[in-house]
Chain A
Amino acid sequence: MTANSWIQLALFLGALVALAKPLGSYMARILEGKPCGLDRVLGWCERGIYRLAGVDPQQEMGWRTYAFAVMAFNLLGIAAVYLLLRLQGALPLNPQGLPGTTPDLAFNTAVSFGTNTNWQSYGGEATLGYLAQMLGLTVQNFVSAATGIAVLAALIRGLVRRSATTIGNFWVDLVRSTLYILLPLSVILAVALASQGVIQNFDAYQSVDLVEPIPVDGGEPTTTQTIAMGPVASQLAIKQLGTNGGGFFNVNSAHPFENPTPLANFLEVLAILVIPVALCYTFGVMVGDVRQGWAVLAAMFVIFIPLTVGVMLAEQAGVPQYAGMGADDVASATQAGGNMEGKEVRFGIANSAIWASATTAASNGSVNAMHDSFTPLGGLIPMWLMQLGEVIFGGVGSGLYGMLMFAIVAVFIAGLMVGRTPEYLGKKIEAFEMKMASLVILIPSMFVLVGTAIAVVGPGLEYTVGDEVKGNLNNPGAHGFSEVLYALSSAGNNNGSAFAGLTANEPFYNTLLGVAMFASRYWLIIPTLAIAGSLARKKYSPPGAGTLPTHQTLFVVMLVSTVLLVGALTFVPALALGPVVEHLQMVSP
């Protein structure tokens, strides 16, 4: 790894940690309903929304009511997006006159954005008009992220409250997170990105003359190119901040209008992790012991940093076969070296690798390089980061509540080993919590593995258009398997990142991935809220010398081991048949 890579990584991590405390304590004020400064400016808006929706902000909810509100709101959102996509041909703000999408694509996309996954089976500029992008997708970008924060807030309240029956009000959590956290941050980021050259307009696509005409076999050379336009900056900001990842353009943040400069790239990759990182601090503040938040954050970094370095090393090491082809893949002042296939020259190895692990650690899924073209190990790590359950930072809110489920399991085993009924933050972990936490850990892996199995049995290998049979996989052999496994890992963990190389915009994958995304979002939210309700009802047991401290190195080790062991034991066989075989084949003479 080059010195430049280390500096880039250090800068990125340093900025994240530095922002954790200020942003984290600010968000804690929002979720605890305290004045935050911004409420003086936007308070009228918050109150107006409550009045308009007929919500009493003082009305607390039990976990069932809370879950019902989450589900009702999300299902309604998904239905709205579905209709927008189907009917876009008849709706305004569609200068290209793009037609309504197929039902399966509309279902897949609606679920994808509603669940904060942002898997894209379509190419943005070729499929969606501005209204669908803004009113459909961007709105879901905000509210799906706010839903994650709300569920997290409910879980934290469950941990904090004693002998209580309620865990907050979903509508209040949703409105306050959107209005005071996501909206202001997005405005700041959108303006900053626009300053770097990210476009923001409602123009029709432009046709420009090529400087160098492209020769076409047996025909006239191509002399013009269509350049897509649109309100990119406004959608891009929340796409990064809300761990959404659904790009305006097909190639996502590899597109020069979506990610023009190294500074834009730095801001965008920082925006992927900044809220999930800061939420750990928020958690610490809300439970009244910031060390608890730092401990969880430390566990995330302990997994994230080595894996990121792993991607960087794998990509920098490149492909041994290049040498035989006479290619120069040594890093120098003029080139990044390593495996540059599928990467932008302006980002190089370091920024592509950092982005790849950040986007898969968090459930963002945006890309600035094509993961399909990574080396086998460079591709394995992003895939495994998703398979860990999107708990290393993970989605906004959802990553931390997922991680807290792992903490509950870790505390359970650790608690047994010190001879006490396990407790987390003074709440006893009993059969009900184990049942729900097990569900949370079980469901995503079930959808990933069973979904992959269904696909490779046959239905996911080829599809028909008219009378023509086409293959879904770009590559044969183990890499083809990796492509399918990656797609299911992405959907089954609500990441949305695509390996590429898999043709997914056809009924089979649109349906399978849509179901996987839906199930692994809401089948996790409901048990999480159930735990919140059950914990809230419990008494608080004050810690003593016999209780396991959950803010120390040892607990961090325990939590890291639990996440890694569960992730490894579940996915080792599948990974062995995909990227591991690819790697061994690549390095074997």
Chain B
Amino acid sequence: MATASKSRPLFDPTIVRRAILDSFLKLDPRLQLRNPVMFTVFVGSVLTTGLGIHALVADGNESPGFILGVSAWLWFTVLFANFAEAMAEGRGKAQADSLRSTRRDVQAKKLDEPRYGATHRPALASSLRKDDAILVEAGELIPSDGEVVEGVASVDESAITGESAPVIRESGGDRSSVTGGTRVLSDWLVIRVTANPGETFLDRMISLVEGAKRQKTPNEIALNILLAAMTIVFLIVCTTLLPFSKYSVAAAGQGSPITVTVLVALLVCLIPTTIGGLLSAIGIAGMDRMIQANVIAMSGRAVEAAGDVDVLLLDKTGTITMGNRQAVEFIPAVGVAIETLADAAQLASLADETPEGRSVVVLAKEKYGLRGRNIHDHHATFVPFTAQTRVSGVDIDGRRIRKGAADSIVKFINENGGATSNELRETVERIAKLGGTPLVVAEGDRALGVIYLKDIVKGGIKERFSELRRMGIRTVMITGDNPLTATAIAAEAGVDDFLAEATPEAKLKMIREYQAGGRLVAMTGDGTNDSPALAQADVAVAMNSGTQAAKEAGNMVDLDSNPTKLIEIVEIGKQLLMTRGALTTFSLANDVAKYFAIIPAAFATTYPVLNRLNVMGLASPSSAIMSAVVFNAIIIILLVPLALRGVPYRAVGAARLLRDNLLIYGLGGLLVPFIGIKAIDMFIAACGLA
């Protein structure tokens, strides 16, 4: 989750100040040329400025005041669009600055050999190359990204994740990767550097949040084409209006042809400046929202793809269920008292430090009042779990108590000359069918009963899955369990499908099958064995706690390492597209009112009857045109918060979502400018400006 320290107020004064300055710097024509809609406005501003200056020195039939007034507001339109983009970038830049402050050039201890105790010499962090070995001790900053090769330490990663609780990093396994800029709090780590200077995670993060490497995403390109086409249509509409107007003046024998100033004003009002001006801000803000959710997206394309996800692959353990199974019930064999079973189970688990083992002790204590005893008092010998025997237990006071998987315990009993009953087998099968793990407890040649270990499904997960279903996303649980167990947990958690006895190959195959069927697949992963599947998935979120290989394979990194974060990621992706769609609709719907303002104003001298189309009752032709231009500029500023925050997404199904958005942005877009233009006109008339 985003922490409070990371979210900034929307209009942070320092960001606003910088954005205002940037708005002017962005007037560079080369930058303007990137956006066809705003470039058209830019050209219009230059043109009207020239006309205004010309009118000042030469006599024309239009007052220089009017021309320069229109011109000023056209410049404002460009500046407001620049401001929106600068605001969106500014938030990223501020984030980048705070990240940069953690990238100090520290002294690193470079080891001659990658082992603890080897000789080391001081080296600057910026001189470290890939595959160098370094030692980092308590209190020191980790100088670069790397993989722990030796040691265990607690590390403060708050600089990257914003999470203040320290995390454990150790060699081997899935918690071996460390990030430059984080601090070792206790113990020491021997680290093999995995990134050259300038390529570290922190460097990439800085360039991503700054938007330096931002490229237009596929969908943004498609929308840009549509907007450019609309701009061309309106350019044709407005330029052909000049000959039409000249013909009309000649035919009616009165009035004067439409002026270039009015044509430019009409053009700027008609072309989709609202969406055109906010388009890049929306894209940058989408990336920014990802960062606020503590997710680093490697590209805007990935953020956009997130909105299209149809299938979500989730690991069972840690995502759907609590990490560990817990004992929930003792089921004694026939003729065995339940207390006897509980007692034996507890004794067998006293030395078992695994969470499962501890949960047996706790259950016996809570349900049957059996207190944990000190096994050393009884001259007990602990029999640890081994991969060969696959049982554990204790030898105490001559009793040989064992617990373990059914087949292993049956073997143990048989070896001791005993036999097991059918009824015990049935109990074992019943538990397996329910999705549990049966652990059989035996003493010598006799089976005492079964411990029912259960996967505990996380609270609230079922609701999240049904929310996903409403969003149109299918959830698939990935588990190493057998199909029986998997079925039961899948039913309890409410996932749509599951993959049991999953191997990396099976995962990869499943993703490919879904993709061949036209689905877009998202998954989370942390282990190195997840990387092929991560590389294949369309949206692949690697946990920050995961291995370097996983992070390389994914196209997003979740700094919180929270597997259910995918849901938020999908929402952010959808918001991004929705905001674009909503503002496009709003922008085009606005044009209707602008026609009603400008057409009568432009042609009423030729055809006075056209004044009857002045339904808003605007004061004068010049105030009508001014009002439309001012409204067109101001609406950009008013919509900046919406562009930065995004249109809220609700999981209500596509049809309902479209209906609601059409009502708000379509119908709203039709009505709002009537009110806005009228209000501005009244203001202008009241001030006697026009």
Contact = CB atoms under 8 A, between A and B. Distances in A.
Interface of A: 409, 412-421, 426, 429-431, 433-435, 438-439, 441-442, 445-446, 449-450, 452-454, 456-457, 476-478, 480-481, 539-542, 544-549, 552, 554, 557-558, 561, 565-566, 568-570, 572-574, 576-577, 580-581, 584-585, 588
B473 A442 contact: no
Given A457-B246, A481-B248, A548-B654, A442 B518 contact: no
B447 interface: no
Shortest beta-carbon contacts, A-B, top 5: A546-B472, A416-B581, A419-B574, A438-B229, A545-B472
Residue among A420, A438, A452, A566 with most chain B CB within 10 A: A420
B662 interface: yes
Contacts of B612: 584, 588
Interface in B638-690: 649, 653-655, 657-659, 661-662, 665-666
Contacts of B581: 413-419
A554 B659 contact: yes
Contacts of A453: 239-240, 242-244
A570 B248 contact: no
Contacts of A431: 218, 221-222, 225
B219 A419 contact: no
B610 A584 contact: yes
Q: From DSSP, what is the main secondary structure of chain B's interface residues?
A: helix
A544 B519 CA distance: 10
A456 B658 contact: no
A441 B472 CA distance: 32
Contacts of B229: 434, 438-439, 441-442
A80 B471 CA distance: 58
Contact of B251 (A476, A548, A554): A476
Contacts of A481: 244, 247-248, 251
B240 A419 contact: no
Contacts of A573: 237, 241, 244, 595, 599
Residue among A545, A574, A588 with most chain B CB within 10 A: A545
A219 B402 CA distance: 132
Contact of A417 (B218, B241, B582, B613): B582
B542 to A, nearest CB: 23
Given A540-B518, A544-B310, A544-B472, A452 B654 contact: no
B577 A565 contact: no
Interface of B: 218-219, 221-223, 225-226, 228-229, 232-234, 236-237, 239-248, 251-252, 270, 304, 307-308, 310, 469-474, 516-520, 573-578, 580-582, 584-585, 588-589, 591-592, 595, 599, 603, 607, 609-610, 612-613, 649, 653-655, 657-659, 661-662, 665-666
A416 B578 contact: yes
Contact of A414 (B248, B252, B517, B658): B658
Given A421-B304, A547-B654, A576 B613 contact: yes
Nearest to B574: A419
Given A420-B654, A480-B251, A573-B595, 5 more contacts: A418-B661, A430-B219, A430-B222, A431-B218, A574-B237
A429 B233 CA distance: 21
Contacts of B580: 416
Residue among A409, A539, A577, A584 with most chain B CB within 10 A: A577
A452 B240 contact: yes
A548 B247 CA distance: 47
Nearest to A436: B225
Contacts of B474: 544
A419 B649 contact: yes
Contacts of B240: 449-450, 452-453, 574
Contacts of B243: 453-454, 456-457
A426 B518 CA distance: 9
Contact of B584 (A413, A418, A445): A413
Contacts of A419: 307, 573-578, 581, 649, 657
A474 B61 CA distance: 33
A576 B599 contact: yes
Contacts of A546: 310, 471-473, 653-654
Contacts of B234: 569
A571 B430 CA distance: 74
B248 A545 contact: no
Contacts of A577: 244-245, 248, 603, 607
Residue among A426, A454, A580 with most chain B CB within 10 A: A580
B284 to A, nearest CB: 17
Contacts of B233: 441-442, 445-446, 566, 569-570
A573 B597 CA distance: 12
B609 A561 contact: no
Contact of B585 (A417, A549, A585): A417
Given A413-B581, A415-B581, A421 B308 contact: yes
Given A457-B246, A546-B471, A546-B472, A429 B518 contact: no
B232 A442 contact: yes
Contacts of A558: 658, 662
B599 A421 contact: no
Nearest to A416: B581
B610 A576 contact: yes
Nearest to B238: A573
Given A419-B307, A569-B270, A569-B588, A430 B218 contact: yes
A481 B251 CA distance: 9
Contact of A418 (B228, B245, B654): B654
Given A540-B518, A541-B519, A420 B308 contact: yes
A584 B612 CA distance: 8
A558 B663 CA distance: 11
A576 B307 CA distance: 43
9 contacts: A416-B584, A417-B585, A418-B657, A419-B573, A449-B236, A456-B246, A546-B472, A573-B595, A581-B607
A477 B251 contact: yes
B655 A557 contact: no
B577 A416 contact: yes
A417 B578 contact: yes
Contacts of A445: 233, 236
B685 to A, nearest CB: 24
A542 B519 contact: yes
B307 to A, nearest CB: 5
A359 to B, nearest CB: 26
Given A417-B661, A481-B244, A545 B578 contact: no
A576 B518 contact: no
A577 B607 CA distance: 8
Contacts of A547: 472, 654
B236 A456 contact: no
A441 B588 CA distance: 16
A438 B225 contact: yes
Contacts of A581: 248, 607, 609-610
A576 B601 CA distance: 12
A190 B348 CA distance: 98
Nearest to B304: A421
Contacts of A566: 233
Nearest to A420: B308
A588 to B, nearest CB: 5
A430 B237 CA distance: 27
A409 B236 CA distance: 20
B344 to A, nearest CB: 51
A477 B248 CA distance: 7
A456 B226 CA distance: 30
A573 B235 CA distance: 13
Given A456-B243, A539-B518, A565 B588 contact: yes
Nearest to B306: A419
A572 B595 contact: yes
A412 B610 CA distance: 36
Nearest to A484: B247
A127 B566 CA distance: 73
A252 B252 CA distance: 33
Nearest to A456: B247
A421 B219 contact: yes
